[in-house]
């Protein structure tokens, strides 16, 4: 997860302004817990813990669900983020040396997918589930959520370079997770990213998240997966990084993208990988983050 330090993200930053909320995060890092247990361990009232949990939910750090217990219903809390990178400077400079675009998850230009698979808009399913033919349906551009077992989707990134300009850095931020039948939060998947057939690196997603509802997931959706993790893949002069952690030594310069060249982003789960656990992608109106695939390009 990549968070820019700005007033726009104040609810997230404010979540860490309380020692109690930090202690709650430490406790949930060990295992999911209910409100009553956390209140007892921290010597606070359940009402106070509930208020802190609400702050952490608003920040997208904690998810909750109500389950039946020995004495009625209980609210189970769990972490829904595994890491966060704070970004103090804007990814696009103010001297007009960059541009940003947002690509809807259904606006892929090529695909090859295997079941389980499907597409959904904010209002309902697009076509039939587990039938790859519907990935060619014209209504696919309306998709806010798509999923598949193995295969890939590929997106065309606009190239606005002119003259002898060259790409200095390229970042892609998206909400993504594995794809298990229904959902399984312990379901690793090896997800590989490419630009123009150059493999940038592979990230192993830990699971397919469905215990807690997605903040923006529509109420009609009852098919398991609720949200993903917000991840940023960035090519820089030093290599390729995922949330600030080195993914490979591939640099933006090695891609040698110039004016008129195509820029293709491929997201793939290979059948022969160690963990062929599928891919789920979320766009605006679905999941925990109200955004599509955000692209930032800096050039020189």
60: phi then psi, degrees, rounded to nearest 5? 75, 20
203: phi then psi, degrees, rounded to nearest 5? -115, 135
Predicted local confidence at residue 95, as pLDDT: 45
Q: Which three-class secondary structure state does DSSP give residue 11?
A: helix
Predicted local confidence at residue 12, as pLDDT: 86
Per-residue pLDDT of the chain (300 residues; tens, 9 = 90+): 667 777 767 878 888 999 999 999 999 999 999 999 999 999 999 999 999 999 998 888 888 887 776 667 788 898 887 777 776 655 444 445 899 999 999 999 999 999 999 999 999 999 999 999 999 999 999 999 999 999 999 999 999 999 999 999 999 999 999 999 999 999 999 999 999 999 999 999 999 999 888 989 999 999 999 999 999 999 999 999 999 899 999 999 999 999 999 999 999 999 999 999 999 999 999 999 999 999 999 998
Among the listed residues 223, 208, 158, 150, the one whose alpha carbon sits nearest the alpha carbon of residue 178: 208
Q: What is this structure's pTM?
A: 0.74
Residues paired with 145 in a beta bridge: 120, 282
- How far apart CA 49 and CA 62 sit, in angstroms, is 13
Predicted local confidence at residue 59, as pLDDT: 86
Query: 121-129: long-range contacts (C-beta < 8 A, 24 or more apart)?
Result: 122/218, 122/285, 122/286, 123/218, 123/220, 124/220, 129/223
Q: How many residues does the chain have?
A: 300
Predicted local confidence at residue 107, as pLDDT: 98
């Amino acid at each position: 997860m990549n968070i820019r330090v700005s007033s726009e993200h104040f609810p997230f930053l404010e979540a860490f302004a309380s020692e109690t909320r930090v202690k709650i995060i430490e406790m949930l890092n060990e295992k999911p817990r209910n409100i009553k247990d956390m209140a007892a361990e921290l010597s606070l009232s359940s009402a106070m813990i509930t208020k802190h949990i609400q702050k952490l939910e608003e920040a997208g750090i904690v998810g909750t669900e109500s389950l039946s217990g020995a004495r009625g219903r209980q609210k189970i809390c769990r972490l829904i983020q595994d890491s966060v990178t704070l970004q103090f400077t804007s990814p696009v400079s103010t001297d007009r040396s960059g541009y940003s675009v947002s690509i809807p998850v259904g606006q892929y230009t090529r695909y090859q997918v295997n079941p389980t698979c499907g597409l959904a808009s904010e209002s309902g399913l697009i076509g039939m589930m587990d039938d790859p033919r519907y990935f060619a349906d014209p209504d696919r551009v309306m998709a806010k959520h798509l999923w598949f077992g193995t295969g890939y989707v590929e997106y065309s990134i606009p190239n606005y370079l002119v003259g002898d300009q060259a790409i200095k850095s390229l970042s892609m931020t998206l909400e993504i997770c594995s794809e298990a039948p229904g959902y399984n939060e312990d379901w690793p998947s090896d997800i590989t990213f490419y630009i123009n057939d150059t493999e940038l690196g592979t990230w192993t997603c830990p699971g397919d998240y469905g215990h807690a509802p997605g903040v923006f997931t529509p109420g009609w959706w009852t098919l398991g997966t609720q949200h993903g993790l917000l991840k940023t893949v960035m090519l820089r002069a030093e290599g390729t990084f995922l949330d600030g952690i080195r993914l490979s030594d591939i640099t933006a310069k090695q891609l040698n993208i110039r004016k008129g060249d195509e820029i293709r982003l491929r997201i793939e789960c290979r059948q022969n990988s160690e963990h062929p656990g599928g891919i789920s992608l979320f766009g605006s109106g679905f999941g925990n983050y109200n955004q599509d695939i955000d692209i930032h390009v800096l050039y020189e």
